[in-house]
Structure 1
Amino acid sequence: MNTWSELTEIQPMATQILTNSIEKGRISHAYLLQGERGTGKEQIALVMAKSLFCENRQGAEPCNTCTNCKRITSGNHPDVHWIEPEGLSISKEQVQHLQKEFSYSGMESNQKVYVVKHADRMTVNAANSLLKFLEEPSKQTTAMMLTENSGAILATIRSRCQVIDLKPLNPIQFRKQLVTEGMREQDATLMSALTNNLDDAFQVVQDEWFVEARKLVLQLIEMLTTNQENVYLYLHSKWLAHFKERDDHDRGLDILLLALRDVLYYHIGNEDAMTVFKPADALLEKSSMKFSQHHLSKLLDYVIQAKRKLSQNVQPTLVMEQLVLKMKR
């Protein structure tokens, strides 16, 4: 999405606020965009930067063809800086490097923009360094901070930003969009439950890693249904060999949540809402006979707890070991 017109379709309120600010020349020195993954935070930041630098802007709309627009699209504009976590967090050194860069005069103008992705992952020292930066803003410096977890942002930082809430995307509308773009209906149903990003959805569904991940999730449910005594062995021989990085585990748990939810849907006769299982899957019937609705609610809660531990930097192998031990009780 390269224009405000396109962004209006998914985030009309946020788009209206920002375009009005641009057209009236009342740009805030800092914005905090908060919303779930896939709600358009990065696209909004990108279009905002283009609007501020575009040589041929019409109203708030960037042209996307001038030199500045093209360089911002490619990530090569000297006065537009992106910061994102190196590893698990954004360090104080990254913020200090940004401050050093901004102490220099602009390469072509005094306008500067910086975008902080996953702003909630700043260390305490990094957040305090950024706070000092925000307390003495330059009139021609604009900060765009992006987060899925606004509760982890320092209140003092939030108070210095114009907070813009992004609404969750409609999964039904997104599924229809995926099908229109050529994705199979069943794949589109699953992707619309996992992401709200079109490019991400097509990349994931074509990835052999993801295809195997889905198979392993179903195998885990089969082990829990028919062969619980060997589930711990399965975890170490199969699951951990495929899910290696923290993000891999998180994506696997997302699929597991959806699969268990499918079994719950099967219980209540809402098969049209299923995402991972096919309605005629024999494992679906076996699992529904093994797990009551009450038991499924417990299993879902265990998986949610595991995802929370992953986000808190608990070692992934330990998280998964604890999860399967709880699930086999």
Structure 2
Amino acid sequence: METWSEVAHVQPLASKIIINSMKKDRISHAYLLQGERGTGKRAIATLIAKGLFCEKNEIADPCLECNTCKRIASGNHPDVHWIEPDDKSIKIEQIRNLQKEFTYSGMESDQKVYIIDGAETLTVNAANRILKFLEEPNKKTTAIMLTENSQAILPTIRSRCQVIDLRPLHPGEFQQQLIEKGLDQRSAILISAMTNNLQEAIDKSHDESFATARRIVIQLVEILLTNPQDVYLFIHQHWVTHFKERNEQEEGLDLLLFAIKDILYYQIEHEAGMVFFAPSDELLKKAAMYFSQEKLLASLQAVLQAKRKLKQNVHPTLVIEQLTLQMQR
């Protein structure tokens, strides 16, 4: 999303509030944009910054063509500062460095913007430090905080920001966006169940590693169906060697969860809820005939337990071994 008209299609209320503020020259000194991943937080923050700095001083939409707009888009504008989690949290040193930057005059104007992405990850010390920053706002400083978890934001920080709630994306609308970007319908349905971030979804659709992950899950279901005695060998030859990183392991379990759910949905004739298999898939039909609902429900619970164990740092190979053993019974 590069224009307010595009944002308005997805977040009509948020775009209306911000555009009206800009037209009346009443931009808040601090915003808190809260919403699920993919709801447009970064795009909106970038548009606010462009609106404040655009060389053509476009109110409704920045021009996107001037040197300033281009540098903000690429993250290279000296007066627009992005703060993101260092590892898993935003630390006090990052906020100290930000505050030090703001003691200097703007490089190209007297306006400065800082954007804190993942504001819910601020450590306690960092949150208290940013609170002090918000309590003494400079007239030409705009803070924009982005969060997926508003409950993790200190109430004292929330009270000093204009809070803008972003509505969740409608799955059908998001799938249509993906189809318009060239994805086939089945891929759009599956990928939209995994992420509601447009660029991430498009990248995933072109990722050979994701395509391989999908095939491995299909093969695992097939082996459980036809040769369950070979499942242990299969996971060591294919699953463990492909899903190496933590995010890949979690993605593999998510895909397996979708596959099992689809088999259950097919049994109860709820095809509208299916995301992994096409309703006409022969493997799906065979699996629905083979596995009992009791077995499928137990398998779903086993996958969810495996996801919890991964988060508890249990060794991933042990996690998948235990999972397949439970599904094999």
**Same topology, TM > 0.5:** yes
Most deviating of 306-315 and 7-16: 306-315
Q: d(CA) in 2 for partners of 1:304 and 1:8?
A: 37
CA contact under 8 A between 1:41 and 1:146: conserved in structure 2? yes
Distance in 1 between the 2:313 and 2:127 partners?
Answer: 19
Q: Cα distance, 1:40 vs. partner? A: 1.0
3-state SS of paired residue (2:102): helix
Superposition pairs for residues 93-172 of structure 1, below 5 Å?
Answer: 93-172=93-172
Aligned counterparts, 1:164-183, within 5 A: 164-183=164-183
Partner of 1:20: 20
Structure 2 CA distance for partners of 1:265 and 1:55, relative to 1, 3 Å: same
Quick one: distance in 1 between partners of 2:124 and 2:225?
A: 45
Rg larger for: 2
1:240-255 equivalences in 2 (<5 Å): 240-255=240-255
5+ residue gaps, structure 2, are none
TM-score (norm. length: structure 1)? 0.88
- In structure 2, the CA distance between the partners of 1:253 and 1:168, relative to structure 1 (3 Å rule), is farther
Partner of 1:64: helix, strand, or coil?
A: coil
SS of 1:106 mapped into structure 2: coil
Q: Structure 1, residues 11-44: CA drift from partner, whole Å, max 9, x if none?
A: 1111111112212222222222222221111111
- Contact 1:172 1:192 (8 Å CA) reproduced: no
Q: 2:73 is matched with which residue?
A: 73
Following superposition, the deviation at residue 264 of structure 1 comes to: 2.1
CA deviation map 1:55-102 (0-9, x unaligned):
223333211122221110121100111122232222222222212112
TM-superposed CA distance for 1:213, in Å, is 0.9
Q: TM-score, normalised by structure 2?
A: 0.88
Give the Cα–Cα distance (whole angstroms) in 1 for the partners of residues 104 and 323 of structure 2: 51
1:48, CA displacement in angstroms?
1.1
Name the residue aligned to 1:9. 9
Partner of 1:222: 222
User: 3-state DSSP class of the match of 2:193?
Assistant: helix
Shift of 1:248: 1.9
Compute the RMSD of aligned alpha carbons.
Answer: 2.7
Alpha carbons of structure 1 residues 190 and 72: separation in structure 2 relative to 1, 3 Å: same
Residue 53 of structure 1 aligns with which residue?
53
1:88 aligned residue: 88
2:103 and 2:315 map into 1 onto residues whose CA distance is 39
**Match of 2:90, as an amino acid?**
I
How much has 1:108 moved relative to structure 2?
Answer: 1.7
Cα distance in 2 for residues equivalent to 1:171 and 1:235:
32
Question: Percent identical across equivalent pairs?
Answer: 60
Aligned to 2:205: 205
The one-letter code matched in structure 1 to 2:196 is N
Distance 1:320 1:104, change over 3 A: farther
Partner secondary structure for residue 10 of structure 2: coil
| Aligned residue identity for 2:73 | T
Query: 1:179 deviation in Å?
Result: 2.2
Number of residue equivalences: 329
2:58 is equivalent to residue 43 of structure 1: no
Q: Which amino acid aligns with 2:287?
A: S
Find the residue that maps to 1:240 and give its secondary structure: helix
Distance 1:132 1:272, change over 3 A: same
